[in-house]
Chains A and B, each alone.
Chain A
């Protein structure tokens, strides 16, 4: 618990909660940077996949020849 929270002796000597542990700052900063990295890497792949699948699911236009079923 001491990893996440800060305590100090209270008026009767018992541990009193002071607040969150400030070194967690680096974890929160890292979470934001990790999100940005994962998003930046995955979005181009997802868009490419979505475009490919959308193209495959596109209904035939009048007069268009299907190459899947010659």
Chain B
């Protein structure tokens, strides 16, 4: 046992020791993204419902905030984060297969514990990343139709037909976001996974939660003192 471990145990019981799950920049990114996506939904669907709000400026500014936040996340993911921890790997596929076989009554071993993220969480991450990517591209094109402090509108940038296509794609993916948000909120509020919501707010999980739901060989998490500032 190292001096550091001995000190930890002396201060808090080992099972209550805090493990870093999300550093502050990732938490800020998540909540800025959540705020801007909800703002985008309210300012797009509110006027349809008859709410008398001047939605266009709020909508495009929220879209720009979302785009900047995602660019920040992409750069940080490439430079500072472990992008492979959120990418499905062979172990995930094997565990998924074991779970399916077990459920179908075909027997075999129980699936192993995941690393930092279970496979479904990884798939959801990349799915919603692509989904928001489509919204950003189509929304970016639509910026050509409004006057902003930075440019004059040019509605002839695309033909009437192509504007219809762009608006339709943007609308379908915006409505799809409603489904994805309901699913995301549902998983965040499940009683057995509330610690994940807490970790997205406060950044930490307990060692017990870490050892119960994660495989330390696949995710070498750091105690909170070591992870601070990372």
Partner-B contacts on A (CB < 8 A): 5, 10-11, 16-20, 22, 24-25, 28-29, 31-33, 35-36, 39-40, 46, 49-50, 53-54, 56-57
Contacts and interface: CB of A to CB of B under 8 A. Distances in A.
A6 B181 CA distance: 24
B107 interface: yes
B86 to A, nearest CB: 22
Contact of B182 (A10, A17, A29, A53): A29
A35 B178 CA distance: 12
Contacts of A39: 186
Interface of A is mostly: helix
Interface of B: 45, 48, 99, 102-103, 105, 107-110, 160-161, 164-165, 167-168, 170-172, 175-176, 178-183, 186, 190
B176 A28 contact: yes
A40 B182 CA distance: 13
A45 B94 CA distance: 22
Contacts of A11: 160
9 contacts: A20-B167, A22-B45, A25-B48, A32-B178, A32-B179, A32-B180, A33-B182, A36-B183, A40-B190
A29 B168 contact: no
Contacts of B168: 5, 17, 19-20
B170 A19 contact: yes
**Which 6 residue pairs spanning A and B have beta carbons closest together?**
A32-B182, A17-B164, A20-B171, A19-B167, A36-B186, A32-B179
Contacts of B109: 54, 57
Contacts of B105: 49, 53
